[in-house]
Structure 1
Amino acid sequence: MPKISAKGLNMPESPIRKLVPFAEEAHKQGKTVYYLNIGQPDIKTPEVALDAVKFHMLDILAYTRSEGSENYRIKIAEYYKRNDIEVTHNDIIVTTGGSEALLFAFGSIMDEDDEIIIPEPFYANYNGFSTASGVNVVPVISKIENNFALPPIEEFEKLITPKTKAILICNPGNPTGYLYSKEEIRQLAAVVKKHDLFLIADEVYREFVYDGISHFSILQEAGLEDHAIVIDSVSKRYSMCGARIGYLVSKNPEVIKTALKFAQARLSPPTLAQIASEAALQTPQSYFDDVKEEYVKRRNILIEGLEKIEGVKVAKPNGAFYCIAELPVKNSDDFARWLLESFHYNNNTVMVAPAAGFYSTPGVGLNQIRIAYVLNEESLKLCIKILEEALKVYRD
């Protein structure tokens, strides 16, 4: 039999999706499964975006430019300007989701066996993108005890080698919900300038920051123009995960020129999805105000509920819609599977994401889970009760 590639064999499973077969089997058994494992908001997509596709006037569904339609990129630049980020449409490449933007960034700035430093826990697919690109992740661990704040900057400097090409952060963070402060961004900026590295920021949750705190983009930091690469997406901002539209943004013309070659190789981003995403830019601020208010309510219900469960430790997020909870279990993979296979509370159970998959350091995060608070308030309250009752009877 022909052999599978080493790269394919090393490709990690998604901790978010790998338990789906067990959830499907739980459904067949008649259980109601509440999905806390995936960041699929139940917030409605703006009507203006859906209407743009519904009532489009196209006769031919043709390719667009490889970097995305010029009109859409101009409007994206205007969106950034409203958020005090000065870029032009020539600094933007539209991609098939933020995932492709990350792959383009990795391909543009790193070669095989180069290294990228990432504070962990981090979005699990960073491991997958690194494996696909032949790049080595060098983790620096952030801790639940201080809410997953940026590790001391000295810890980053200790890890820098001749193979180090970039530092990658998610701000606000998936899976932690941590929002980096302006001071933390400036510490990172100083390090990448000192060592001539790139700083990549995944800012797809920019709109979702709470408690009166403001988001500070790496594109707002003066003197970082040659170093900064932003990854962005419409998926969570407008609850348009299925559109698969993202973008890579950089003021470094060589980065854009190089990334464009990768964009040309895959021809163009999807046309109808660009139409929807361009229309979504008309979404009024009131939409985001309402969504943020809803997420704050959900966050508070979740965090307060989890804190009342004996043996559970949880970090309070200031952004996005995720949190990491530490459970009184030895292995959250086993616990998550057991919840689906063997447990129910009044015929209800939950699906969570084991957090070890959000680390690249072996053996770390084994007793942690990521929870996405994307369900309504009553569902979240029930989920907390399910977890509480499950932990009373679960045995490692």
Structure 2
Amino acid sequence: MSEREWNDVVTCEQALARLNIKAATLYAYVSRGLVRATPHADGRKRLYLRRDIERLAARKRGRPPSGAVAESTLRLGDPVLHSAITQITPHGPRYRNRLAVDLAGSGAAFESVVHLLTTGIWQSGFAVWAPLATPPDVLRFLSVYEGGIASGDIGALLGMVPFALAMQGRGTREIADGGAVQAARLMLQSMAGCVGFLGPERAFCPRAEGESIAGQILRGAGAAVTPETLRAVTTALVVLADNELAPATFSARVAASTNADIFSCVAAAIGSHIGFSTGTGTEKIETLLLCEPLSELDSRVDRVREYGASLFGFNHPLYAGGDSRADLMLQAAAEIAGRGESSSAAREGTRITIAFLERMRRELDAHPGVALGLVTLARALGLPDGTATAIWIVSRTAGWVAHVMEQRTQAFLLRPRAKYETTPSPENGTGS
């Protein structure tokens, strides 16, 4: 068994409920090799492979095996598509055979990672992208928001940018001319410029000559641009660039399978990413968990206990032992605070936050996910709320583009089938 498959397991209680059997029957299945089990981390319990449980459940219902397998894959199961972009490992995502945390730790430029994901070619040095002017009609559209936006609106605004870029025939030309890489760069710098609506200028921040995406984000947010802050933001951009078939990535691939232009594919992905259960985790952390006063964090332990996974992204199901991406961002936040480059309030807030997250790890076995790592890092850098959401979307656009380009080469329509089931009629109790 691969490490990837053991990331998706269920407890004994979950297995018994799913199969509607007694514990003795489950143990018999294990002894016969029908269900594979592994020891729990505490050494007293066992965990069971979800795919084996689902296969047995399908047999008990009498469903065709192929239909049952297909259904289970859409529930955080086995891969449903062949892809050579990202592999999920216990140490985090691996981009084309390079661990994301290793790339970030080595100081790799985000631009180099974008090139690796989209083309499969690794550039060891930072190659400055040639200037790409955001089209005047897009700038006119964005000018409506001069004066600033609410932090909770940044995701929706970034979702509109790709659609605006697709207008004036640019989307059609992207498909006809094969200009996906240039289109991706244009999207990235245009979306990064929108961080300026959250910063002190409250206006679009165009990329300067020779400036990196990390530098553009920092400048737009009104933060200090130093080698240390650039490296911190780059760390976040690199580790968040792709995470295999996340819901938003799958949305991008579905759109790509219909031959939509790359701008529309990314817009579809952003629409999925900012759903309540996914990308808005950063906003919920800012407003419900790491909100002021931070001195009252200890009073919010019950929120973590009850809603830690669903609201704040603790214990990502693909990284049962902890998310190395989040750990790396928390480390970067601690280093920024330790250097004393941020304000005293930011330094103290970072100290309190990291201590609280370590307590949650010890007492609740609650491992912070990337949204927590990202918000903590943004706060350590003194970035305005909403910037974490923007960084995540800008970063993940690199992965979305890579998946769109790969899906185009596979040349088939992604169209699952539904299994129609009748529902009882309220009048006579029969199927309608």
Q: What TM-score, normalized by structure 2, do the two folds share?
A: 0.24
Q: Higher RCO, 1 or 2 (CA under 8 Å, sep at least 6)?
A: 1
Give the TM-score taking structure 1 as reference length.
0.26
Q: Higher strand proportion, which one?
A: 1
More helix by percentage: 2
Q: Which has the larger radius of gyration?
A: 2
